[in-house]
Homo-oligomer: A and B are copies of this chain.
Amino acid sequence: MSVDINELALPDGQIVSDPEEISKLSSDKFTEAIEETSQPLAVIQAKSVEDVQAAVKFANQNQIPVTARGAGTSIVNGSAAEKGGFVIDLTQLNKILEINIPNQYAVVQAGVLNSDLDDEVRKQGYFFSPDPGSKRISSVGGNIATNAGGMSSLKYGTTKQSVVGLQVVLADGRLVELGGKTFKNNAPYDLTDLFVGSEGTLGIITAATVKLLPVPFGNPVTGLATFNDMKQLSVGVQNISGSGLYPSMMEALNKTSIEALDNLEKSDLGKGGAESLLIFQLDVAPAGAVDALKKILAKSGALQVNVTDDPDYAKKIIKIRQDYYQAEAAYGRLIVEDVAVPLSKLPELADFVENLKFTSKVTAFLGGHAGDGNFHPNFAVSKEYAETPADVNEAINKIFKYVQSIGGTISAEHGIGDLKYQWVRPQLGADVVELQRQVKKAFDPNNILNPGRKV
């Protein structure tokens, strides 16, 4: 590499070139199964938008690959650095620039943590609806770059639906503003939405205008129901959906997940042979909702049913869902996958995951957002293995193939990152991939932004 990095005019300390420091910032924080990690040339610690512009401009002029990095909490190695490239660390762009309650938006820098924004606006009776499991540790910029979801996506959509405008550094270092401050905007094309989920390949998101929602009126209604199997649970989900009660959360867990929770909580969720569990909440509950839900669940063949508008009881139910990852992790090192299928295909997906055979010591779980067809097939791998056993990787590949065969997608809310791009082409087909490449080229003609993300 014949580039003289000293020509990039940034203050001392902002260009990190110590190999060990660089290494820490060259991949995801928590993805344990990273196949290969490339050593970039340097990490740029951006303290201002101008720093990002300067670094990207320099990179573009010198054909240096650029990987933007938020909190590093992707679990598809979304923060994988490129060999000889720049990592631009955006964590210090962490200011909430404006909270505008009359206009129901906030303007935040990319590095602001999701929950820091959410906590702040809740003081004023509003909330930031995207609620990925990582919300306490992931940044708004990362949420946008990966179009992160969460439990409340069922009602409020993924991060995309919260993004009103973006500030973006283009591949040549120019700064542009996309979108605006209005909730309806038909001056095409909607480049704002195009950037949501683009994972650092079209430009670098440095700030965003996001929609704030008012905290719902009244008491939520919360419930739990168990069923004989996922097929029966799916009947319950369909019936609740069809009722027009508009749950803000509808989470399903399979039989291994129930066992794990019963082990952790010393509970008896599996009572009566229950092999599936549904946890749901209506954040806006119409009069009569509790009785209606009880009736719907009885009609749907539920075993155990609890529906309540008592806040303390609700907390206990929600805690079960919150403890789920901890319950799984007791079985080993956890690999979390992310797929979506058409709503009615949940029973088939559950069967498929439960029928996977392993010779290595691993437990497969299936849980997720039943209301929008987004499930996480998770694998707890015995800690005795230094690397993920081959049969687990094979099982994951089988699931992806199966999901695509039933009209699903290999990424619902986690993105493609460095680990899933080989699945994009079979899912989209050659013609659509070609269109995507043309779009990429329109924004990044020199192919410097995450160039290794092959579609």
List residues of A whose CB falls within 8 A of some B CB: 101-105, 125-126, 146-147, 149, 153, 157-158, 160-161, 170, 174, 176-178, 180-191, 193-194, 196-199, 201-202, 214-218, 238, 241-246, 284-289, 292, 340-344, 369, 372-374, 407-416, 423-424, 427-429, 431-432, 435-436, 438-443, 455
| Chain B residues, Cβ within 8 Å of A178 | 432
Taking a contact as CB atoms under 8 Å apart, the answer to whether A436 and B372 are in contact is no
CB distance from A432 to the nearest CB of B (A): 6
| Chain B residues, Cβ within 8 Å of A343 | 102-104, 183
* Docked pose: A414 CA to B202 CA in angstroms: 28
Q: Which of B125, B147, B432 contacts A242 (CB 8 A)?
A: B125
Taking a contact as CB atoms under 8 Å apart, the answer to whether A412 and B184 are in contact is yes
CB distance from A334 to the nearest CB of B (A): 20
| Chain B residues, Cβ within 8 Å of A342 | 103, 105, 181-182
| Chain B residues, Cβ within 8 Å of A284 | 244-246, 284, 286
Taking a contact as CB atoms under 8 Å apart, the answer to whether B176 and A242 are in contact is no
CB distance from A443 to the nearest CB of B (A): 7
Q: Known A284-B246, A288-B218; judge A439-B189 contact (CB<8 A).
A: yes
CB distance from A215 to the nearest CB of B (A): 5
| Chain B residues, Cβ within 8 Å of A182 | 340-342, 373-374, 407-409, 412
Taking a contact as CB atoms under 8 Å apart, the answer to whether B442 and A187 are in contact is no
| Chain B residues, Cβ within 8 Å of A424 | 187
Q: Which residue of B lies closest to A216 (CB)?
A: B244
CB distance from A270 to the nearest CB of B (A): 27
Question: Can you sample 14 A-B contacts with CB below 8 Å?
Answer: A126-B242, A170-B431, A182-B408, A184-B374, A184-B409, A184-B412, A187-B409, A188-B197, A188-B436, A190-B194, A194-B439, A217-B245, A435-B442, A442-B442
* Docked pose: A238 CA to B153 CA in angstroms: 25
| Chain B residues, Cβ within 8 Å of A373 | 182-184
Taking a contact as CB atoms under 8 Å apart, the answer to whether B176 and A435 are in contact is yes
* Docked pose: A74 CA to B342 CA in angstroms: 33
